[in-house]
Amino acid sequence: MHHTIEVDKLSYSYPDGHIALREASLIVAPGEKVALVGPNGAGKSTLMLHLNGILLGRGHVRVCGLDVNDKTLGKVRAAVGLVFQNPDDQLFSPTVFDDVAFGPIYQGLPEAAVRERVEAALAAVHMRDYAKRVSHHLSVGEKKRIAIATVLSMNPEILVLDEPSAGLDPRARRTLINQLRELTQTMLVSTHDLRLVHELFPRTIIMDEGRIVADGPTDRLLNDEALLHAHGLEKM
């Protein structure tokens, strides 16, 4: 098993000509938890959309030893759980159960296995009692956790989360951090929450203007005031 993320010289420009990624390269080792920070518009979300094959840019992307291309999309999406920034995008079914069951049902698992997966995924985010609830009535914090459950139910080897703590109140944020700590998957998490980075991620990657501008131990990068300042971040 190699739950790695390998991105080599990835470039991408949107159809309107805006260049979102410029030769970004990174490698995340199995089991590693890495934070991705940088100002808005730095290309973090665009990079993440490539890890799941939603966008296909120029350059090479390999996840879990699979080349990401049209032919491997199914396997790639089973291996990489991508959680979008806005939980309302992630939750498109009438009930929480339907949403968490979507991935496993799509994969063709039998009903008993699907129920088991949903149960386990909701348990992992401590939301077992929510299965029957209607998604759009939940609080933002609840939606965020359900959104993570919707990919956990697919048993992914890699979790890619886009700003998981954005818009959460302190208690919801604390709950989320504890849950992320409990998860054992390889993780790449984009965030503006530098305290979260300090707490959870030994390694940090800084992006700006579509480039990866720094990649190293969190302690060193987040204490480098000049570097942070140059890329619109603030030392805590």
Partner 1 sequence: MHIHFLDPYRDRPSLIHALDPRVKFVLTLAFVLTMALLPVGAWPIYVLMLTLSLSLTVLSELGLKYVLKRSLLALPFVLAAVPLLFTVPGPALLTLPIGSLSLTVTATGLERLLSIMFKSWVSVQVALVFAAATSFPDMLLAMRAVKLPRLIVSLFGLMWRYMFVLADEAIRLMRARSARSGAIEGLQPGGSILWRAKVTGGLAGNLFIRSLDRGERIYAAMAARGYDGEIRSFPLPPITSTSWITLLCGLILLVGLLLFALLFWA
Residues that bind partner 1 (CB under 8 A): 14, 16, 49, 52, 54, 74-79, 81-82, 84, 86, 88-94, 98, 102-103, 105-109, 135-136, 150-151, 154
Nearer to partner 1, 33 or 50 (CB): 50
Nearer to partner 1, 152 or 221 (CB): 152
Q: How far is the CB of 102 from partner 1 (least distance, A)?
A: 6
Phi, psi (rounded to 5 degrees) for 180: -60, -35
Q: How far is the CB of 221 from partner 1 (least distance, A)?
A: 28
Q: How far is the CB of 98 from partner 1 (least distance, A)?
A: 6
Q: How far is the CB of 218 from partner 1 (least distance, A)?
A: 27
Secondary element (H or E) of residue 215: strand 211-217
- Closest C-alpha among 77, 45, 60, 71 to residue 164: 45
Rounded-to-10 torsion of CA 220, 12, 40, 207: 10
Q: Which two tokens stand for residue 23?
A: 């030769």
Q: How far is the CB of 105 from partner 1 (least distance, A)?
A: 5
Q: How far is the CB of 149 from partner 1 (least distance, A)?
A: 11
- Sheet with 5-13, strands from edge to edge, namely 19-28, 5-13, 58-63, 66-67
Nearer to partner 1, 188 or 233 (CB): 188
Nearer to partner 1, 108 or 170 (CB): 108
d(Cα 219, Cα 173) in Å, to the nearest integer?
Answer: 22
Nearer to partner 1, 92 or 219 (CB): 92
DSSP codes joined into one string, 161-180: EESTTTT--HHHHHHHHHHH
Nearer to partner 1, 52 or 179 (CB): 52
SS3 call for 6: strand
Nearer to partner 1, 43 or 222 (CB): 43
Q: How far is the CB of 103 from partner 1 (least distance, A)?
A: 4
Q: Which two tokens stand for residue 142?
A: 């609840």
Q: How much helix, strand and coil, in percent to the nearest 5, is found in the chain?
A: 40, 25, 35
Q: Are 34 and 46 in contact (CB under 8 A)?
A: no
